Structure 1
Amino acid sequence: MTMPTQASTPAVSPAPEAQRVERLLSFLQTDPENLNLLADAAVAAFDAHRFALCDELLDRHAARTPLPAVLANLRGLAALWEHRFDAALRAFEPLLATHDDAVIRYNAAYATAMLGRFDAAIELLDDATLSGEPRAIPLKLRVLHHLSRLDDAIALGRSHADGPGASPELYGALATALFDAADLDSARRCAERSADTVDGLTVRGLLALDSGSISDARDLFRRALAFNPDGARATLGIGLVELAERRFADAAGTLDRAADMLNVHAGAWAAAAWAHLFNGDSGAARTRFERAAELDRGFADAHGGLAVLCVSECRFDEARRNMAIARRLDASCLSAALAESLLATHAGDVRAADEIRRAALDRPLGPDGRTLAQALAMRGGRGA
């Protein structure tokens, strides 16, 4: 799971602190046993973003005497910044037993969530923590969302949206949950209040993509990735933009990366499958459609996509079987509608690939005039 909420940020810019670190290290060369110097140097190293050095200095301190609470907490924060979440939790857990501190509980919950222990993270994010640490609110919202407790996540976000704990991060997390709940108007309003957060930019990008504003969507996803290059939803969004721009080879690679990052997100695998199909690699497309169907047995578009793929391979009986499955799962499935349209003309010769691409990207298939590509953007972006 990607958690954009970060740990406590070093308060001082790294440049002046780098000079302070070097000065303190020079003092330690002449007085290596000085605990106060070790503590000051560790704090300076943390503020300079030299987290490995911070940990080394704390080890030297701990070898002489147990770390006081403030330095034990610093060890946990340094581990968080290095994404060593097990080590961070080992530092925070003893403090939880001795200190009633919302920030410590938040940081412990953050590490716990990043380790995939979402139920345990929820327990740490109690009312006292939410009241005492505003960053805990969007974190809990994201954890609830990840646990598929979408209604609870939205209720939590809305209950704090106009309160003192409201922040751009909260609005971004709430926008994501509302987008996944298909409440697009509310998602747009929250995303607009989320400023330049990764979540807000990504949701705005997905909404722009849905409205056909491809250039705006591309810019928003790129801005999101500038903040977080590992953002899975934004990576997926860039892949959907490339698909809409008919850059099928690029889209296949980008959407494969997004599917790997999201791992169990059926929509991402289906999006990657379409890119490979449009790029002429039916084998790769089949593997990805089948993966999507395996991940979500109720995902009609995976079977609809397989039906379209089978039409392109002139396997009409198999196409009809998959189309029937898709229709049973969702009578309004657009990929099944595309397969049905193609079957009606028995497309399957050399021209079928172009016909499939044109139909999927340009032809309105649903009662609302949506194309399969538009539906793919919305379905692919949800739940990521």
Structure 2
Amino acid sequence: MFSKAEQFLAVAQSRQTDAAAWQFRASNLYLAQGRLQDAQVVLIGLEELQGPHPSIIHNLAYIYFQKNDFTAALALLDKGLNDTGNNVQDISQLQVLWLRCMHRSLKLEEALEYALQQQKLNRLSDQATGIASLVAVDLGNMELAATWARQALESHPEQVEALVANATVALAQKNTDLSRECLLRALTKNATDGRVLSLLGFTEMYDMKIDQALPYLQDAVVYMPKHIGTHLGLGWLYFIQRDLDAASAEFETALALDRNFSESHGAIAVIAATQNQIEKAEQHIELALRLDKSNFSAPYAQAILSGETNDAEAIKRLAQRLMKNRFDTN
């Protein structure tokens, strides 16, 4: 695919016509090929020759973004946004990348405040609105997230952040059909997006489609290995399938990521109670309820220990109820 582009580029550069424009196109080709260092050298040379330009600033910042150096990217983008005029079209890509950097940096409140301010000034582009919708989701502002996601998807129907935000809102409203539709579209853009895979798993879990949910969550923990909720969700799927060893491994992984998360202790208590490990179960029940009295898992472990639930099918039904409660966002 790139060989033809390289041939055209070589011919154009040999003719030395509009050299700066072709240098910029060369940098775009290098970015597409993942040759970040080559692209950076060209872009820095262009900036020294022509001065700062929104497209050059954006692409230089994008290189830092790809390297997960969000501080360096934001420093460039801040200057670009301050120096660029009020034309929404001129600043759209800068806004999008700035919001993505802020989101990845977990500077959510500041990102939301900026988006709201830009919206009041009629300077928030539709694409930037899509990124802002996911920021709003992560801050728990579902109403604003829904509004922004719908607005973004009207003009950019395949924008991943807006699709994920719309799916999250839909799942919170128990609309699994819409959630699934949005997430499957998002997955076509990036098949290794851990968040999309995880949400798809939870969507299938909510409908109790265990066999469909399992591969999504198995993939999700590969691409998002530090997400506690995904490990717990996968663990409950294994538990329902009576694979206690696999369930225990997921619950222990979740606990290792944060020993103060009550649901991990509760889940381990359920496994221990199922295996008649009374002392271990009681220890984790106590820890779970001490951390959070509204813990879902611990009461099920207590029910197993007390003998209220002692047959495999009853325990399976309890796990199903627990799983649905655990991932019901209302």
Q: Distance in 2 between matches of 1:95 and 1:336?
A: 61
3-state DSSP of counterpart to 1:339: helix
- Post-superposition shift, 1:61? 7.2
- Post-superposition shift, 1:70? 2.4
Native 8 Å contact 1:334 1:372 kept in 2: yes
State the Cα deviation string for residues 308-353 of structure 1 (Å, max 9, x = none). 2223333232222223333333332323344344444453543354
Structure 2 residue corresponding to 1:326, chosen from 288, 311, 317: 288
Partner of 1:374: 328
Native 8 Å contact 2:12 2:22 kept in 1: no
3-state DSSP of counterpart to 1:284: helix
Partner of 1:119: 71
Native 8 Å contact 1:178 1:186 kept in 2: yes
Q: Distance in 2 between matches of 1:330 and 1:119?
A: 36
The structure where helix makes up a greater share of residues is: 2
State the Cα deviation string for residues 167-225 of structure 1 (Å, max 9, x = none). 33222211111111112222222222221222222222122222222222212222322
- Post-superposition shift, 1:126? 1.3
Q: Distance in 2 between matches of 1:325 and 1:319?
A: 10
Could you tell me which amino acid in structure 2 is paired with residue 114 of structure 1? Q
Q: Distance in 2 between matches of 1:231 and 1:328?
A: 35
TM-score, with structure 1 as normaliser: 0.73
3-state DSSP of counterpart to 2:92: coil
- More displaced, 350-359 or 231-240? 350-359
Structure 2 residue corresponding to 1:104, chosen from 56, 70, 79: 56
Q: Structure 2 unaligned segments of length 5 or more: list them.
A: 85-89
Q: Distance in 2 between matches of 1:88 and 1:336?
A: 54
Sort the Cα spacing of 1:238 and 1:182 in 2 relative to 1 into closer, same or farther, 3 A: same
3-state DSSP of counterpart to 1:194: helix
- Post-superposition shift, 1:73? 1.8
Please tell me whether residue 73 in structure 1 is matched to residue 24 in structure 2: yes
Structure 2 residue corresponding to 1:198, chosen from 133, 156, 160: 160
Query: What is the correspondence of 1:1-150 to structure 2 with a 5 Å cutoff?
Result: 50-55=1-6, 57-58=8-9, 68-98=19-49, 99-129=51-81, 131=84, 132-150=90-108
**Sequence identity of aligned pairs in percent?**
23
Sort the Cα spacing of 1:326 and 1:72 in 2 relative to 1 into closer, same or farther, 3 A: farther
Query: What is the correspondence of 1:265-280 to structure 2 with a 5 Å cutoff?
Result: 265-280=227-242
Native 8 Å contact 2:30 2:38 kept in 1: yes
Sort the Cα spacing of 1:108 and 1:181 in 2 relative to 1 into closer, same or farther, 3 A: same
- More displaced, 196-205 or 80-89? 80-89
Partner of 1:172: 130
- More displaced, 95-104 or 142-151? 95-104
Native 8 Å contact 2:202 2:233 kept in 1: yes
Q: Distance in 2 between matches of 1:91 and 1:344?
A: 70
Q: Answer 1 or 2: higher relative contact order, Cα 8 Å, separation at least 6.
A: 1
